[in-house]
Every structure is written in C-alpha cells, then in structure tokens.
C-alpha cells in the first residue's frame, strides 16, 4: 500500500501549505511560495515523482487525489492573492486620504514692503480724488525727455544716466514719463498718480540703486496754484506719517515744471533740531514738484491758455526707507528673506 503513504504525505503537504498560506502577508512572497509548491519543479511535482513505481490502479488513485489537491490549493492561492491585493489597495487609499481638518504647515508669502507702502500711498491719494495710471517701463525718448521739455542737447538730460536698448528705446528714468501719456489719454480736468519702477544707469551704494520706485502725481484744472500743491502735499504727508508735518519750498530746477521746487519736510526724528537722519540740517528733502511748464501741456495736446497744473514726483523707495528706518536701498531687491520677513 505505497499509495496510502503517498496520499498521507500529500495530506500532510496540504496542511503544511495551508498553514503557510494562512501566515503569508506579502504578495511577492506569496508568488514565490506558489512556485515552490505548485510550480513545475515544485514540491508537489517532487512528491508525485514517487508514483512511477506504483501499479496503474494506485497511480490512478493517487493521481485523482493529487489533481483535486492541486485544484484546491490553486483556488486557495488565488483567494489569498486577492486578499493581499485588496489589502494593498486599501492601504493605498488610506494613505491618499487627505484630512482637511489637519492643521496646515504652510509658510505664507508676504507683500513686499515697497508694495505695502505703495498701496498705502495709493489709498491716500484715491481718497483725495486721484486716479491711478500706469505707463510702460520701456519708453520712447519723447515721453521720457522730449515732450517733457528736455531739448535734444539740454544739459538736464545728463542729470539722469539712461539705459538705452539697441533699438533706441530707453528704460524710463522717472515716472514723469507718464505725464504726457496721461494728457494724451485723459480729458482735463484730472488728477492722477503713477506708481512705478524706474531705472538709472549708475553705481549702486546704500542710497543709489539702478532700479527703484517712484510715484508721480499730476493735477490739471482751470485754476491750479502753488497753494493747492502745498495743500495736497501737506495732507498726504501728515496722513502718511500720522503726524502734523511742517514743509518748506526751495526753488528746484526740472525742465518740465516752471516754477520748480524741492519740497522738504521738517525732520520727524529731531523735530528740526538736527540729527543724523537729516544730516543736522533739520530738514529732509522729500518731494520735487512744480507747476507744469506750458510747453509740456502743449506737447500733451492741452491748451496752456485754458488749463494749468502741478506735478510732483516722490521716491517711493525713499519713503519706505524713512518709514522703516532702512539704511540700505539695496535690501529691497536683494531677495534676502531675512530682510523681507520683517515686514
Ligand atoms: N522726475 C523727477 C526725477 O525723477 C522728479 C520730479 C521733479 C517729478 C519735479 C515731478 C516734478 O513731477 O514736478 O528726478
């Protein structure tokens, strides 16, 4: 009865295999196990090699038993495989599940200090009835110089060192370049401000940068006086600095205004007594301005016998430096997060 002992062996083999199957947790290992057990050179084949010495009857008996066993085990392997695959799928879904109530570990970006102050200044002027205008940074000579009353050989052109493109365009050296563009576009009376980036071809140091920010202002109406100009400037400055400011006008030369002024404020730090910030003069130069030159009105298509206006240009970068006591203009465009994160 050798068939009996083979069948016993197969029974034992089945129990062992089922036990292993039960314990298996890994899909890869399951596949290996399958080949070890039911593969062509697997254990089952190994056991069945022994039937070659049996009688035909016995071979039949063992053969039928072995076939059923193989089917049973195959089914069990399949089931186990599905079970493991489902498990993997479930783990994947669980890992993908996004808990929307989880606290965010996000670093927020910030508005650049220059933009913060720009928006603040814009608001003050919007409240006084000004509208915001923009103009191109790459400009034509005529808007940056020509129509602002800088003649071809005007020495004032040397006041601003200019970046030129090969094609003969330039990077605007001041936001005054938008003055004539505004006159061409808008019907007087109007009041505009023009915040923007300007460029100068110059050595950089703590107070000079080749790229910086200005804010131009312009008002055109039937009757515009220096008193109007001073009033608007004073209102702006006291709102911005949140205290009463004392201003003074000195003559200043700019080809597009006549008369032209430098508007200074009494030093807010020492109240005019003299300190490091105002270089012991008691005054800080803050706003060049003036009444718009009749030629410029004419270049803008506005009749100077009918209309008049004032203009001013402030250094936005300077204003931000004053507000936050920033000692070096080069911080602004440095991209240094340690600087930027303070605001
Ligand atoms: N555009 C001049 C500059 O960048 C500043 C300026 C002076 C603007 C007088 C004005 C003005 O509008 O009236 O140096």
pLDDT in tens, 96-119: 877 788 887 777 888 999 999 999
> Do residue 278 and residue 165 come from a single domain?
yes
The CA distance from 310 to 258, in Å, is: 9
Mean pLDDT of 148-154: 88
Mean pLDDT of 317-329: 88
| Residue 159: per-residue pLDDT | 62
Site to substitute for ligand 1 among 130, 162, 174, most atoms within 8 A of C-beta: 174
Which residues 6+ apart lie within 8 Å of 323 measured at CB?
Answer: 117
> Do residue 241 and residue 274 come from a single domain?
yes
> Do residue 68 and residue 165 come from a single domain?
no
Residue 35 forms part of a structural domain: yes
| Residue 175: per-residue pLDDT | 98
Residue 103 forms part of a structural domain: no
List pLDDT tens digits, range 199-232.
999 899 888 899 999 999 999 999 999 999 999 9
Q: What is the pTM of this model?
A: 0.70
Q: Are 273 and 254 in contact (CB under 8 A)?
A: no
List pLDDT tens digits, range 39-71.
989 998 888 888 888 888 888 888 899 899 999
> Do residue 77 and residue 154 come from a single domain?
no
| Peptide bond just before 189 cis, omega within 30 deg | yes
> Do residue 321 and residue 182 come from a single domain?
yes
195 lines ligand 1 (CB under 6 A): no
> Do residue 121 and residue 227 come from a single domain?
yes
Q: Pick the closest to residue 179 from 261, 262, 302 (CA basis).
A: 302
> Do residue 129 and residue 91 come from a single domain?
no
149 lines ligand 1 (CB under 6 A): no
Structural domain for 148, as ranges: 113-340
> Do residue 193 and residue 241 come from a single domain?
yes
| Residue 1: per-residue pLDDT | 52
Q: What percent of the chain has pLDDT over 90?
A: 68
Q: Are 245 and 233 in contact (CB under 8 A)?
A: no
Residue 195 carries which DSSP code? E
Half-sphere exposure of 311 (CA within 13 A, CB side): 28
Length of the chain equals 343
């Amino acid at each position: 009865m050798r068939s009996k002992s083979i069948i016993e062996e197969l029974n034992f083999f089945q129990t062992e295999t089922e036990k292993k199957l039960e314990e298996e947790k890994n899909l890869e290992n399951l596949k290996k196990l399958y080949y070890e057990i039911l593969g062509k050179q697997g254990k089952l084949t190994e056991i069945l090699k022994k039937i070659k010495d049996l009688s035909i009857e016995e071979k039949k008996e063992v053969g039928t038993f072995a076939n059923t066993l193989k089917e049973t085990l195959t089914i069990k392997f399949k089931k186990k495989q599905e079970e493991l695959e489902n498990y993997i799928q479930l783990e994947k879904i669980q890992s993908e599940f996004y808990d929307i109530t989880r606290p965010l570990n996000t670093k927020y970006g910030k508005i650049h200090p220059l933009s913060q102050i720009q928006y603040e200044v814009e608001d003050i002027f919007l409240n006084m009835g000004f509208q915001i205008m923009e103009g191109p940074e790459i400009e034509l000579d005529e808007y940056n110089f020509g129509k602002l009353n800088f003649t071809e050989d005007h020495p004032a052109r040397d006041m601003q060192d200019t970046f030129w493109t090969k094609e003969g365009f330039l990077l605007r050296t001041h936001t005054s370049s938008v003055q004539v563009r505004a006159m061409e576009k808008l019907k007087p009376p109007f009041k505009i401000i023009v915040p923007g980036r300007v460029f100068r071809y110059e050595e950089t140091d703590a107070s000079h940068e080749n790229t910086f920010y200005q804010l131009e202002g312009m008002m055109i109406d039937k009757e515009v006086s220096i008193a109007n100009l001073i009033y608007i400037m004073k209102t702006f400055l006291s709102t911005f600095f949140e205290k009463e400011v004392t201003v003074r006008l000195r003559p200043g030369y700019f080809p597009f205004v006549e008369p032209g002024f430098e508007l200074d404020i009494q030093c807010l730090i020492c109240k005019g007594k003299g300190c490091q910030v105002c270089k012991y003069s008691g005054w800080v130069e803050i706003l060049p301005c003036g009444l718009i030159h009749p030629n410029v009105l004419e270049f803008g298509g506005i009749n100077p016998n009918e209309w008049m206006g004032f203009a001013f240009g402030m250094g936005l970068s300077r204003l931000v430096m004053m507000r936050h006591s920033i000692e070096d203009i080069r911080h602004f465009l440095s991209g240094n997060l340690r600087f930027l994160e303070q605001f």
